[in-house]
Amino acid sequence: METIIGIDLGTTNSAVCVIRDGKPAMIKDADGSAILPSVVGLDSQGRLLVGQPARNQAILAPERTVKSIKRKMGQDTTVTMADTKYSPQEISAIFLRTLKDRAAQELGRPVSKAVITVPAFFNETQREATRQAGELAGLEVVRIINEPTAASLIYEAKADHRERLLVYDLGGGTFDVSIVQVEDGVVEVLSSHGDTHLGGDDFDELLLNFVCQRFQEQHKLDLREIPTARSRLLQAVEEVKKQLSFDACVELNEEFIAERDETPLHLKMELYRNEYEEMIEPLLKKTIQCVDDSLQDARLHAKDIDKIILVGGSSRTPLVQQMLESQLSQTPHQEIDPDLCVAMGAAVQGALIAGQDVGAVLVDITPHTLGVQCRGYVHNMPSVYQFSPIIHRNTALPATRSELYSTMFRGQPAVEVNVFQGENVDVRNNQFIGGFVLDGLDESADAGNEILCRFDLNLDGMLIVTAIERSTGLEKRLTIKNAITEFRAEGHEEARARLAEMFGDRTSPVSATRHPVPEESQLPEGERVAIKEAIQLIAKATNLLPHVGEEDVQEIQELIEQLEDAIANHSLSDLGRYHERLEDIVFYLQEA
């Protein structure tokens, strides 16, 4: 049977996939990469460069390099590369030819047929140009399919009932969202929206500006004006950006980035995920607006969507997942590599056309979210029971993720790390799976001492939880076997009861995670006891919040804040004053 290869011809990256033994198999290059950057160039000797080598020379030799040709497909135009003009089809054909040759080499036989994907918004002329590019590359394009259709096929190739999927595709240079309906294996795009100039490249620029501004403040030198430094930094910040999808804080370390008065300058700084998220949030809000628009066009509501599928490398950004989840009230699927699922879907389509049998694509994922308890908000109320997810459900295994937390008051000697699995914002509705105390923290540290919490979840479901005090490197870890065993309803109730008891709900005090009572503290005895009692009172008052009227809520919240400030400032007189007032209210409300 002839193999029909599946090709994702992307603006930033392209990829090729075949079905082998009923399963999609990505074709990799000699370095083991399944991704071919969609960049072509000629080196100084006029030799052809395709993919990463071309990408590497893009900033230094733009006149010999062509990127993002997909944006020009279907236009009556040419691009110039080292003084020669090429049509967009010719340039695209270079990628297609490269991928075709890769597939032929891997399969050990010639390849002549392909399914190629295009964005849902491509018009007929753009589709025809893509077909021509295929022909130039020596390929018979048996079908052109929409990218969201391909992505849906990989998740729903066998659906025998009607499913509606929202495909959110955020790549390097473009964003689009489509709502597709799959019924009896037929995929229909119901609506599509997007922005052809929004993607990871914009995030890189924002991060680059941020880093360069900081560097300029220190060294009075704008690295953006030095081409070699700029190009090096752009690649470096892209790597930092990718790492920030998994870690809460990443170090950027570029030695000898520039020189002044013959003195080398080094760039070393830490970048935090929350800073980065602030930068990109306005752009992500635009994508959420597009999600709303496509729902409206399809005359559907969020609840009509059966699955959200993430496509494109930039959809790995945790904030994307959070914003989608809060907008659509369901967790997006990300179990299949978002860079590869379009090419995989194209290969599935190719196999279906060729009459090949395609099995379900199985990947190991975590069925529940794993996270820790922290102090924050539950249903907009301050709470010591907030669940802070670290590894979200449906994440492909193995997975490593980290989050940053901080201590609540100066001289805090320890933090308690309680690990839960489940989906509820309130840890008491999730399952407790283990915990430990990281003690011996630097007691000279102010409030806000950073504690990094890292989860490593392997294919066997073993979870290693590590807590690290960032300023000193003090570290403690816990291994939890079978962290992803089934979470059954009865276990859930049991867990709930056990926790309620552990935390002494309502009647007895609660110990606040991340703000443990300073037992071993070197604080004076009187202050230690006062803080301990204040924390207990805060927990008790927080528990009451959902059950009291609006006016009381406001008063209680204010007093909690004042009491927290008093703890942080070690002000015994304020502690006493606010404690008394809050205690009166709590007493009165409990009696009422």
Q: Which entry of 90, 106, 156, 169 is annotated as an active-site residue?
A: 169
- Window 241 to 270, contacts with ligand AMP (CB under 6 A): 241-242, 245
Of the candidate residues 307, 316, 392, 514, the single one contacting ligand AMP (CB under 6 A): 316
> Closest approach of Cβ 245 to ligand AMP, in Å?
4
Pair type for strands 399-406 and 381-391: unpaired
User: Candidates 84-92, 131-139, 237-245, 563-571 — which segment interacts with ligand AMP by CB under 6 A?
Assistant: 237-245
Pick out residues in 12-31 that bind ligand AMP (CB under 6 A): 12-13
DSSP assignments along 323-381, one per residue: HHHHHHSSPPB--S-TTTHHHHHHHHHHHHHHT---------B-SS-EEEEEEEEETTE
Q: Which of residues 504-533 bind ligand AMP (CB under 6 A)?
A: none
* CB closer to ligand AMP out of 199 and 371: 199
Cα–Cα distance list, 136 to 87, 320, 542, 574 (Å): 11, 38, 68, 79
d(C-alpha 315, C-alpha 332), whole Å: 10
Q: What does the per-residue mask of binding to ligand AMP show for 180-219, with x meaning CB under 6 A?
A: -------------------xxx------------------
Q: Which of 134, 312, 350, 382 binds ligand AMP (CB under 6 A)?
A: 312
Peptide bond into 398 cis (omega under 30): yes
Q: Which is nearer to ligand AMP, 310 or 556 (CB)?
A: 310
Rounded to the nearest whole angstrom, what is the least distance from the CB of residue 283 to ligand AMP in the complex? 12
Q: Does 172 bind ligand AMP (CB under 6 A)?
A: yes
CB atoms within 10 A of CB 290: 18
Using rule CB under 6 A, residue 238 touches ligand AMP: yes
Q: Which is nearer to ligand AMP, 38 or 543 (CB)?
A: 38
Of 339 and 416, which CB lies nearer to ligand AMP in the complex structure? Answer: 339
- Written as six digits, the tokens of 548 are 């009291």
Site size with ligand AMP, rule: CB under 6 A = 18
Report, in Å, the least distance between residue 330 CB and ligand AMP.
21
The yes-or-no answer on residue 303 being catalytic is: no
Is 294 among the residues that bind ligand AMP (CB under 6 A)?
no
Residue 169 is among the residues annotated as catalytic for this protein: yes
C-beta of 486: minimal distance to ligand AMP in Å? 29
For residue 472, what are the contacts with CB-CB under 8 A and spacing of at least 6? 441, 442
Give the pair of three-digit tokens for residue 511: 């110990």
**Catalytic status, residue 339:** no
What six digits make up the tokens of 141? 């394009």
Q: For residue 98, is it left (φ>0), alpha (ψ between -120 and 50) or beta?
A: alpha
One-letter amino acid identity for 250? V
For residue 182, what are the β-bridge partners? 163, 187
Q: Is 83 tagged catalytic?
A: no
Alpha helix stretches (DSSP H) within 246-317 = 273-297
C-alpha distances out from residue 208 to 221, 234, 239, 316, Å: 14, 6, 11, 19
Using the minimum distance from each CB to ligand AMP, give the nearer residue, 241 or 428.
241
Q: Minimal distance in Å, beta carbon 122 to ligand AMP?
A: 16
Per CB under 6 A, residues contacting ligand AMP are 10, 12-13, 171-172, 199-201, 238, 241-242, 245, 312-314, 316-317, 339
State the catalytic residues: 8, 70, 147, 169
